[in-house]
Amino acid sequence: MVADDSRVVRVKTGRLLSAHDYQVLTAEDGLDAARQIEGTVPDILVTDVDMPGLDGFQLSRQVRADPRTAHVPIIMVTSDNDELRSQAAAVGVNVVLGKPYPEELLINHIERLMMAQAGR
């Protein structure tokens, strides 16, 4: 699942993931993502930090607090700084990617996290 309030980011990231044979769900913001996750648990969550409704930190806390979704790997994409990295780690985010990032880096992180999930 890709949760980002930017339509351009959702489309671009969705196309990238689809090109690598991933099925992609998109959410317009944190609230939309939380609603969708209630019905369908994603294999991985790629989320922005700054979104209306629930921001990326609130969404990540909610995902980690639910036993059905606590195992879901979370990749947070944001303007990179040390404070955000420590906040992200505190709420259980697996990877923080600074904008802009090389597309292959996102794919590499997803592949690694998915392999780790398969081995859990």
Could you report the per-residue pLDDT of 50-101, keeping only the tens digit for each?
A: 999 899 999 999 999 999 999 999 999 987 677 888 899 999 999 999 888 8
Other CB atoms within 10 Å distance of the CB of residue 50: 14
Could you report the per-residue pLDDT of 88-105, keeping only the tens digit for each?
A: 999 999 999 988 889 999
Give the global pTM: 0.94
Quick one: which of 112, 30, 40 has its CA closest to 69?
A: 40
The encoded tokens of residue 37 equal 């996750």
